[in-house]
Structure 1
Amino acid sequence: MITEINNIKEAILWIEKREILGMRLGLLRVLALLKLLHHPEKKLAMIHIAGTNGKGSTVNYLSSLLQQSCSKVGTFISPHIQNYNERIKINGETISCNDLIIWVRKIKKLVDQASPNSALFSITPFEIITAIAFDYFYHKKVDVCVIEVGLGGLLDSTNVIYPILTGITTIGKDHEHILGKTLKEIAFQKAGIIKPKIPLVTGNISQKALLVIEQQAIKNKTPIYKFKKDYNITYLGMQTWQECFNFKTKQITIKAIKTPLIGKYQPENAAMAIKLYYLFCQLKKFPFLEQNVFTGISKTQIPARMQKLNSTPLIILDGAHNVHAIRKLVQTTIKQFSNYRISILFSALENKNVVSMLYQLLKIPKSHIYLTTFNHPNSIELVQKYLFIAPQRITKVFDWQDKLKDFLQQNQTQNCKDLLLIIGSLYFASEVIHFFDI
């Protein structure tokens, strides 16, 4: 048991140790803590983003755009990739270790004083870091915050806020054991962030799921701005490791926007962020300038989103961790890297639909999958059922680091056309990034 917080390691450990209480959705615990903090979330301008995939990219695009118009922009994301502090940022700068220690001490004191029968007594790690983010942003006097939903929306601890804008990126199957097994059930959970009369922007969502969202919007008298109807893109292709696209609404057209994030789906994420930024500028009566859009999108950097880790041989890391995201990544890989010999280093958490993810990856012609595990209690086991899917094209690898070293050593010729795609889990991606010491 940690009695005092003396350093950043102990601060993070105190938060994460509360994982033994289990992951539980609901708002009572976080509200109990926020009440003791005098409800900082009620004193902040916030934009709330949910979605199965694309919400992390959209949040980062939007934060970068907002920085073109505001002095201080807060960003709250999860999970982290490189270090815990990156969950909370102001203008792209992570919360300092010293500040995180100060806020953890503040929260720990309140939790330690809670009675065993209180909601606060059983508060979870995500609820703690959510409350820290809100309180930190308030005391640092940020102009606006972009808040990424942790899981679902309706009962996620971030859903205590009353935002000025909301966004739902995509709806796909993930966390079915919690959010529901059908797209309609999952869409209902995501639509839980919709607030009365607060504008909502939606991304590229199937009609079945969109109908659920529209029904909730009607109930809440919420104006809704839909992809392909109220804003759209023309995809222009990849140019020098950048995706290029045109953005269009009834009011504006912006041509040849470039994002450094690779994937045909990235312009869709960027476009949704641009639409939200446009609405924000209207709300605040700020000028909406083309140059701000070009700068904001071009400056967006996110680890583990088709991230190039090495050029020769080419190694790309992506945190796609469900069937919906894998399917989109496979489409991008086939289109952009058809002239490469493709190897795939894959690992995932055991609660994911691993079999379906592997079937999607096998659609990449002549690719070979190296199935591995990593340092996480819920990482997949290297069992035969996965190998039986395609015995000639799936090989288990016990030490992924050795496999990476071999690939780097064996493919160093200048005209090398070998590609290693590392994929399957953001937690796995975090370990890979640390291996490369990025």
Structure 2
Amino acid sequence: MSRRQVDPGPEALCQGLVAHLEEQMQIHDPRILDAFRAVPRHRFVTHVSIEEAYRDRAIATKQLDNGLAISSASQPAMMAIMLKQLNIQPGHRILEIGAGTGYNAALMAHLVGARGHVVTIDFDEDIVSDARQHLAANGVENVDVIRADGGRGFAAGAPFDRIILTVGAWDIAPAWREQLTAHGRLVLPLSVGGPQLSVAFQAQNGHLISQSAHYCEFMRLRGEFAGPEMLGPLGPERGLLIGSEEALPVPNDTLYNWLSGPSQDDPAGMHMALRDLRSSLWLWLGIHETGHFRVYATGDIAKRGWIPDLLSVSVPGGLFRGTSGLVNEDGVCLLARSDDEANPFPLRLRSYGNAKALTQRLLGQLQAWDAAGRPRGDRLEIVVYPLEAAIDVPEGAVVIPKRWHQHVLRWP
């Protein structure tokens, strides 16, 4: 007689997620793990199955008509990392920018306890309404959900001991720095030359000093306080996307014509592992170079081989390829791999147009990156000053002026 298999209930699935966070993701703070046990995620993402709710994945919760997701429930592992960075203590007052489903606010409400308070704000009324309903349905009383533009913070509730963003930002809006307590902490996904790092900043004498950084990927801030980052289609056909931190020096049509035309491959004279790409090299290029961009191909265009196979994965609907490189008025040079199977693999440079000088420039950056020890994003030190502040720049640091602040970046 065979036994009928019984699907695990939400409590068992929740315990499984907590075990994953502790054993696989190295989250050992007992207070954070207790918060994940106490707050049932499936009650905040009711549009998916209970099994899906307790997978360690982000879940899209709002999409535009073109399918682009503009709100989501963040990946639990990334949430746990950011909560650890935030270092919440009982009684703290917290501002969250990006309410989402209300789940993260509920976790923080558990951590601050009855003496603490959380304010979470969002741009869209429907997101605010859903978050309020989820929090009320789960008996969470020490959270206020406000509809507002997160770039302005929430002056009526300031100052805050902690401020956290669950959306990516290109710069730090003045309100976030001004609404922190004198020794408060700000955690946000910060665009650093294109890639994002979840950075924990400590306030000190009118500026912010990074305490930790982790690679991450979040949807970007929308509205008046959005940055200049670009991610959009390239060319007349579906399946080709381009992303950059800044306006590129040539029109998209010119870039498309180069990428769809003849190219030349040259060896870079070094090997690279895939783990080095996002966590190190893309950051290095974004910090040290202008004209750095990323390009992605899917479907038929990916099969044509226009875009070199640096990152390649199978996705629903076909193949996905991605890489990055430099562009100037004369041509393009992209990173490529010589061996589809090896990891580490021999690195190559693929050039388009009249890109001889650009290829040498990219090769020089690769050699500098290698000589520096291929530094990772989690070792990057960032100090943020108001744009008008006079600063002493440490040796080896790079200063990136942005909209409101100047970011001083340095690998020790």
* Same fold by TM-score greater than 0.5: no
Calculate the TM-score normalised by the size of structure 2.
Answer: 0.25
Q: Relative contact order: is structure 1 or structure 2 higher (C-alpha 8 Å, sep ≥ 6)?
A: 1
Higher helix share: 1
Calculate the TM-score normalised by the size of structure 1.
Answer: 0.24
